[in-house]
Amino acid sequence: MGELSKNYDAAAIEQQMLDKWMAGEYYRRNPGVGDCTVTIPPPNVTGVLHMGHALDDTIQDTLVRMNRMRGVSTRWILGTDHAGIATQTKVDKKLAAEGISRREIGREKFIEACWDWTREYGGTIKEQIKRMGCSVDFSDEHFTMDPDYAKAVRKVFCDWYHDGLIYRGKRIVNWCPTCGTAISDDEAEYQEEDGHLWHLRYPLTEPVDGQEYIVVATTRPETMLGDTGVAVSPKDHDKDKFVGKTVMLPIMDREIPIFSDFYVDAGFGSGFVKVTPAHDPNDFAMGERHGLEKINIFDETAHVVEGYGQFSGMSREECREAVVAWFEEHGLLDHVEEHKHSVMHCYRCPSALEPWLSEQWFVAVDKLKGPATEAVTSGAVKFHPERWTQTYLTWMENLKDWCISRQLWWGHRIPVFYCDECGWMDACMEDVHECPKCGGHVHQDEDVLDTWFSSQLWTFATQGWPDHPELLEGHHPTTALVTARDIIALWVARMVMSSTYFLDEIPFHDVVIYATILAKDGSRMSKSKGNGVDPMDLIAMYGADAMRFNLLTLVTNNQDVRFDADIDPKTHELIGSPRTEAARAFVTKIWNASRFVLGNLEGFVPGPAKAATPADAWILSRLAGLAEDVTRGIETYKFGEVASALHAFFWNEFCDWYIEFCKASLREGADAQVRLQTQRNLVYVLDCALRLLHPAMPFVTEAIWEQLPRESDEAPALMVAAWPEPETLACWSDEAAERAIDMVCGTVSAVRSARARFGISPKQELEVVAKVPASNAEALTAQKDLIESMARVNLTVVEDSPTFVKPEGSAAALVEGCEVYCVLAGLVDFDAERARLTKERDKLEADLAKTEKKLSNEGFISKAKPEAVAKEKAKRDEFTAKLELIATQLAELG
């Protein structure tokens, strides 16, 4: 056995434990009974950990560590994603800073630059994951651009292409004019913007009932250059007379038809809807139904193409102003309304996306949707919390063909080859340099695949598929996917589609969706806002265990949670996090309690734990309950409840009570056998508690456990020691002991609370009367000596009866169905105490009124610094709490 230093040094000890684990190779895939395989959602190769990553990885590590201790074969797969747009953007900026562009150096050299970038910055997030204590198998790392992974991606494309599931077509896509690529619907971010609804007059080619023009309403007047029709609702019978007529499109002098279509909302605008099939997906669909021409008026940078006179070369914004000015100048601007609407933006840059007609590659999803839907409706794949099941199913029901091509250079290049001479084309597993049909020159498609196309294979392409499918046996389907709700559609659904297609099985059994971590004020964390929290800063300030434990407490059924970190508004540096500070206090509590136990083991001889006293029976029974709660909680992904149970047991039951119960037996002069059994019980309970705490707080528990006395054949490290199985500990369950000691704890707490409220010294012996139901009288009487020694009281236990009279001048408390009366007569001047409390109450009420008046002042709230407002709110809460306490005291005094 060893001893612990007086203070817990998180930074030093965490590094020592990391070195121990890495040297022991405990993270590697281990043989065992059953399987727990988890794939880490691949973060961007050049990224850094954010709070979402930290929560995600903590949840996974907790799950994996418990299963490893249970003797289950565990495999936690590490990997990163090449992040096409993100990485290309970073490298583009780096080149720009050097005064060059990718167009100048060419595709080959640009890809080399991307590889250089990933090698230089790609290891950061891996080291951060390691620093968190995540027991990932670092010897089994994967990257979506690795040769074996690239082969898997290519096979999926070629197989789907030859099976008729991948096709090339000209359709509307979300185009980012800054990034120069298509963006999927799921990657687009909607932003509410203040705009206008312009009402424009389109002249009829022939008057209708004396009317010479119609009025269309639009939020994008610039796209009218590409209008090829005007639509009305078939339900709007007032406009029936216009159907079949034509208008002369202003500026363009293009005659276009008026038709009816059920898509049109008769109540929007004027009821006449301009139709631009090349610049709106709904207009595209109407154009298909009514055979309209599709005219693309923008180039890839969202500037008007040639052939549009003064408007050619203008940006979208410039064209909008010019078109509106033209309509106004020609008397065709009817009126303008203020209008708030949602605008799609690129998720990688601030640009508004342009619905743009272009030729792209698509996955036809109709054959994939059925099996992927069945996987969830059958219960084979379960969502936690369950409510996300409907999100998945709704998205799957409305799924459209998936645009998988991106106009980038960094990524998996589409493996389709074209003959420049005879027109041959095919998707091929190997590069083709000569046409197999005519021997002519062949070139490869310029586009790359959407990043999500490659990451959809993550659970099986990281485990040997397609060359070594035997490696999947026993490890696929994987156990659980832990991820954010934002990518249920982007990633989760696509993983299910690809896995059910290529392996005829689901990719994972459970999908664990964690809450989105928001800033303290409820806004999204972001670098641009300066309100993001770096997990590494939290670790530096509080230690990894404290950060991990606090994060687990946030795993509730909530959709969003606010992180309580205070950020310096000027430097954007972390000031502190009260909840993480509280978690660090828990780490310290664990350390100090363990130090006490280790410091009281003189003469210790190993031996079994025994329920020698009611207090022993109580703690052993509570330990059995904890093992059940923690094990089932992790199995069902209720990590917040797990954290709560661990904290309640160790801090309250073990530290505050059981150690106190044991102190008398550990003192010098105590019976040797009683002392030895107390030592054995303390070591046993501490050992089991550390094992149960370990998945959540690996560092401090490992450091303590290696100092505990244990058998020579015990595991070399806590992380590979045996888990306290609920079935094994069930023998300690003792409801009677729990009920009895709960009454002891409640009674002692009631006495201590009364002493604190009325300023009575702990050395002052008190008279206490406990009125109990007959069913509890014997159990409480049996613990009379224990209560009297711990609370320094003279206890009288009486059975409940109609003749019972409350002792005069006593403070009452309800404890486990019993009434406990602390007799204060002669110790407290009731009249003086009432006067003192009344005076204090009046002052607090006045202070509270001032504070509430200040907080209700909108001028103060809007102008004061956030910390000043927070200070006033804290004062309000403090005053309110004190008033509640005084009200209780006055009630007790009568």
Annotated binding site for ATP: 527
C-alpha to C-alpha distance for 380 and 669, rounded to whole angstroms: 62
Q: Tokens in use for 543?
A: 């230690």
Q: Tokens in use for 129?
A: 């994951």
CB atoms within 10 A of CB 626: 26
Binding residues: 527
Please name which of 696, 697, 701, 659 lies closest in space to residue 678, comparing C-alpha atoms. Answer: 659
Strand spans (E) along 364-468: 382-384, 402-403, 405-406, 416-419, 425-427, 442-444, 448-449
CB atoms within 10 A of CB 426: 17
Q: What HEC string does 646-661 produce?
A: HHHHHHHHHHHHHHHH
Q: Tokens in use for 340?
A: 């708030």
Find the helix packing angle between 544-553 and 698-705, rounded to 10°: 130
Where do the H-state alpha helices sit in 295-341?
A: 316-329
Contact predicate 772/798, CB 8 Å: yes
Strand spans (E) along 436-546: 442-444, 448-449, 478-484, 508-514, 516-518
Radius of gyration of the chain (CA): 35
Characterise 6 by phi-psi region: left (phi > 0), alpha (psi -120 to 50), beta (else): alpha
Q: Tokens in use for 24?
A: 């022991």
- Planar angle of CA 417, 420, 426, nearest 5 degrees: 25
The HSE-up count of residue 234 (CA atoms within 13 Å, CB side) is: 4
The label of the residue with tokens 């056995």 reads 1
C-alpha to C-alpha distance for 566 and 573, rounded to whole angstroms: 9
CB atoms within 10 A of CB 522: 9
Q: In sequence order, which residues have a C-beta less than 8 Å from that of residue 632 and are 6 or more positions away?
A: 726
Q: Tokens in use for 161?
A: 């292409």
C-alpha to C-alpha distance for 724 and 722, rounded to whole angstroms: 7
DSSP code, position 763: T
Q: What share of the chain is helix, strand, coil (3-state, %, to 5)?
A: 45, 20, 35
DSSP code, position 384: E
Strand spans (E) along 701-803: 766-772, 793-799
Contact predicate 477/507, CB 8 Å: yes
Q: Calculate the alpha carbon distances from 587 to 312, 571, 581, 688, 830 in Å.
A: 67, 29, 10, 16, 42
Please name which of 473, 707, 694 lies closest in space to residue 5, comparing C-alpha atoms. Answer: 707
Where do the H-state alpha helices sit in 856-894?
A: 858-863, 866-893
Dihedral of alpha carbons 132, 138, 140, 144, sign: positive
C-alpha to C-alpha distance for 514 and 485, rounded to whole angstroms: 7
Contact predicate 521/530, CB 8 Å: no
The HSE-up count of residue 603 (CA atoms within 13 Å, CB side) is: 13
Please name which of 309, 297, 292 lies closest in space to residue 357, comparing C-alpha atoms. Answer: 297
